[in-house]
Amino acid sequence: MIRVLVVDDSPISRELIASILDEAPGISVVGRAANGREAVSMVDTLSPNVVTMDVHMPILDGFSATSQIMAKKPTPILVVSSTSGRGGMDLMFESLRAGALTAIDKPEGPTSPHFEKRVRELVHLVRVVAGVRVTRRAPTAAASASAALPPLPRVPRRNVTLVAIGASVGGPLALENILSGLPPDFPPIVVTQHMSAGFIGGLASWLQRSTQKAVAVARDEDRLLPSCVYLAPDRAHLGVVAGGSRIRLDSGEAVGGFRPSVDAMFRSVAQDVGASAIGCLLTGMGRDGADGLLSMKTAGAWTIAQDEATAIVWGMPGCAVAEGAASEVLALSVIATRLAGPGT
């Protein structure tokens, strides 16, 4: 049984989330907190397996509560909050930096046409994060701990024109780590990051501010420019055309249950760019991206999978490694070095 603490200052939202989870098989709501201070205290006394955390709360907000919980009694935290306003987005992504695992938009009431989908997503993510082991380490500690790894072996020098990155749970912080370590003059980067609908624009803005890189949500027919990062938008696959010089968005069928799909992006890059691309598959649940990364490797591209020690969830990169799709398996802290190093 997964024991959940629901944290939300709105009595209506708190009870809605609690009722959704209590009705799900294998999940039991063991407590309800109306602010971050209550949440910190109740985590200590109730020892839940998962905390669903709002960010906008009185007395102590979700970011501060997450920081205190991860310092005192580390517990898997799922941010469940609204997507409105830059302030809320910043708090949400700072909560991820403080140790929360991923985020989802608050479910609307049963009369909403999106209600059933949001219910399924909430229940699924609670089950996923319940299986993640968390520690008192800061979110970047696992990456910095790998700094003592031996020097990276040299790889054949290649003229890289495009980098494609896929990620899911844990991806925002991994992306921030990589983008922050890249030089100003760098090939264009396309990214498919699984996120709850409505969050991707906030992720682009947050990454741009925190990494000082040009990051934007991709638009159809965008020209791919050096030193720019393009994120797949909600409900559209990101692909490339014209030798990897332009974006092509596709709102067709989901691939493997995802739209946008990492597999769809990697396959497009494999077909249109081939050996002059690099593919990188980061932390995430499931197996999206594993087959596409193999397509890139088969097309001659250099491919990288994040290692198990630094991935919050090793599902996606782990499947890629099992399939032989990765040219290298690297700790998060050295991926930027590899992308910017002799192999590029």
Give me the pLDDT at residue 341, please: 73
CA distances from 41 to 99, 290, 310 (A): 18, 41, 29
Question: pLDDT digits over 170-185, tens only?
Answer: 999 999 999 999 998 9
What is the side-by-side strand order in the sheet with 162-167? 214-217, 228-231, 189-193, 162-167, 277-281, 302-306, 328-330
Using a pLDDT cut of 90, give the percent of the chain over it: 80
Please provide the average confidence, as pLDDT, over all residues in the chain: 91
Q: Does pLDDT of 169 surpass 70?
A: yes
Give me the pLDDT at residue 146, please: 44
Give me the pLDDT at residue 139, please: 41
Q: Are 172 and 203 in contact (CB under 8 A)?
A: yes
Phi, psi for 51 (deg, rounded to 5) = -115, 125
Q: Does pLDDT of 154 surpass 90?
A: no
Q: Is 134 exposed, middle or buried (0-12, 13-18, 19+ CB in 10 A)?
A: middle
Is 0.85 topped by the overall pTM?
yes
Catalytic one among 13, 64, 95, 168?
168
- Is residue 114 among the annotated active site residues? no
- Is residue 54 among the annotated active site residues? no
Q: Does pLDDT of 141 surpass 80?
A: no
Q: Does pLDDT of 342 surpass 90?
A: no
Q: Does pLDDT of 112 surpass 50?
A: yes
Rounded to 5°, the CA angle 204-208-212 comes to 165
Catalytic one among 288, 295, 307, 333?
288
Give me the pLDDT at residue 27, please: 98
The residue ranking higher by pLDDT, 198 or 42, is 42
Question: pLDDT digits over 65-75, tens only?
Answer: 999 999 999 99
Give me the pLDDT at residue 331, please: 96
- Is residue 185 among the annotated active site residues? no
CA dihedral defined by 105, 109, 114, 117, rounded to 10 degrees? Answer: 70
The span from the CA of 281 to the CA of 191, in Å, is 10
Q: Kindly report which listed range (156-165, 227-236, 281-290, 299-308) carries the lowest average pLDDT score.
A: 156-165
Beta strands 228-231 and 77-81: pairing type? Answer: unpaired
What is the average pLDDT across 2-19? 97
The span from the CA of 218 to the CA of 203, in Å, is 12
What is the average pLDDT across 186-199? 94
pLDDT band for 137, please (50, 70, 90 cuts): very low
pLDDT band for 48, please (50, 70, 90 cuts): very high
Catalytic one among 194, 196, 263, 272?
194
Torsion over CA: 239, 241, 245, 251 (sign): negative
The span from the CA of 150 to the CA of 127, in Å, is 37
Give me the pLDDT at residue 135, please: 77
Give me the pLDDT at residue 301, please: 96
- DSSP 3-state of 192: strand
Residue type, 181: G
